[in-house]
Amino acid sequence: MAATGVTLEDIGEPLSSTTFVVVDLETTGASPASCEITEIGAVKMRGGEVIGEFQTLVDPGAPIPPMIIALTGITNAMVMAAPRIREVLPAFLEFLGDAVLVAHNARFDVGFLRAACKAHGYAWPAVEVVDTLTLARRVVSKDEAPNRKLGTLARVFGTQVTPNHRALEDARATGEILHGMLERLAAFGITHREDLASLKSPVPPEVRAKSTLADRVPSKPGVYVFRGPDGERLYVGTSKNLRSRVKSYFTKAETRGRIRDMVSLAVSVDTMVCPTALEASVLEVRLIDQWRPRYNRRSAHPERTPWIKLTDEAYPRLVVSRSSASDGTHWGPMRSMSDAQLAIEALQQSLGVRSCRTRLPRQPKPHATACILHDLGACSAPCIKGVDSGYAQTHAQVQQVLNGDVSPVVNALADHVAEFALTEEFERAADLRDRISAVVDGSMRTARLASLAACSIVAVRRVDDGWDVVSVVGGALSGTRRVKSGVWAAADDLRSAQHTLELHSPLVEEQELILAWLEKPGTRLLYVDGTWSSPVAGAGRHRGWVAARRGDREATGQRRGR
């Protein structure tokens, strides 16, 4: 895809449109582990204007120390009839919503709030946090203020509210200070919500200078490509919000030395906007495989994916392979080399698959000798018995496992696990447990990929602003659409295109991305072609093109005409 132009809506959320909730707490002491909140004050602001306030005293459940009373003026009598923090938190969290949380010395306030949420079973929201203390160190010089205390900053910025160690008044003053600092920061290009991350810590000047590379990057899902001085592709990535992600490379949030080196070389950023996040993720995997950018590590070497292979010889054995085939002799992909080796050991132990590496003739050589495994009863020794060893039955059992029935392996090893547990040989039991897990996981991964590759699919899932419609053929993504209406029309277009597209052999990682999307709750299969053994809940076996049930059509708000 070609890079696209941008509009004002594409470049992120302006700070003038960002909702901030400025919060201040009064407490019985400095540590959330041993102290309690006595007052919460919060001010909701947008564009420098106050749009809401929140204030309440809180009963700490213990006497307030005299020193704290003298500092804040909050007495034991004042909080006696106040609600406990567990009663206050729901209302405060609702007031906070998904706004940017602001506090002066935010570590203190956020620490107390997080501790209270954890103690009373409330999930702390994943909100952005801005610390006005940190901002002050960036925008207020030592000549202006000898320190960064709230009262000092209030004098610097001439706030109408004077801080007085009461939560709401201090929050109001902090809000005015925030607005004053953001006005100063606008002169340095800090104009959007996504720019706030760059203020949390100083960034090397040469890195910060390159932040302009993200200026024309749209805030849409897609793939970004950093290019070097000679146009070479240095790094490929993906994001649901391209501009926000590219911006993050020029902030403290990026701490990887290898990526910092990449940023120092980069001179431009290309973007490819995609209609859906799934298409962006798949495109990223494909481009990394095609271009092999020097700074990409994840997805950069699909050829290293381990499979388990049954060798082609008179008495087959199991080995790890770096390539796959669709002839039933390969099993996987395995998650790692160690998992592949554990699975092989499980089959050797439970089925008697030979572990020696010698290529054996069909008829044993004269005077051939067997290894110790024969004496231990762990191998039928075709090296000395040939066809009379019964190894053909072992081969058949291995083929049964490769075809998806792992019960002979699991049952045999599970009995041994139980025996070791009874005799308290827990390390040996754990070793067998890991081998069983590797076998089961390998079988599941094989079955999932085989099911996906055996059919063509058109599926849909609801997203915030519409519907994502996805087309898959033979395990490869063939197209996606994001629509606000006309789901069936989009599905028909994608279905028709399936027969005209020239598709590649999909990478394992691409298939895993597609399966993860299909398995998410709310995904509906609109069309399925072929024999489908679906990992998606509720999908059965189908032959030929099968339309979704009437209820599914109604759920998408569409009527399908013929």
Cα separation, 438 vs 442, in Å, equals: 6
Return the SS3 of 191.
coil
Q: What angle do CA 181, 187, 188 make, to 5 degrees?
A: 90
Q: Crossing angle of helices 407-422/426-453, nearest 10°?
A: 160
SS3 527: strand
Residue 40 identity (one-letter amino acid): I
One DSSP character per residue, 315-379 reads S--EEEESS--SSSSEE---S-HHHHHHHHHHHHHHH----------SSPPTT----HHHHTTS-
CB neighbour list of residue 296: distance below 8 Å, 6 or more residues apart: 235, 236, 288
The amino acid that residue 527 corresponds to is Y
DSSP 283: H
Q: What share of the chain is helix, strand, coil (3-state, %, to 5)?
A: 45, 20, 40
Catalytic-residue membership of 165: yes
Half-sphere exposure of 394 (CA within 13 A, CB side): 26
What's the CA gap between 467 and 327, in Å, rounded?
A: 38
| Residue 99 to residue 127: CA distance in whole angstroms | 7
Residue that is written with structure tokens 């120390």 in the block: 65
Q: How many CB atoms lie within 10 A of CB 168?
A: 21
SS3 281: helix
Cα first-last separation, the chain: 34
Instruction: Catalytic residue, from 165, 192, 301, 395: name it.
Output: 165
Please give the positions annotated as active site: 165
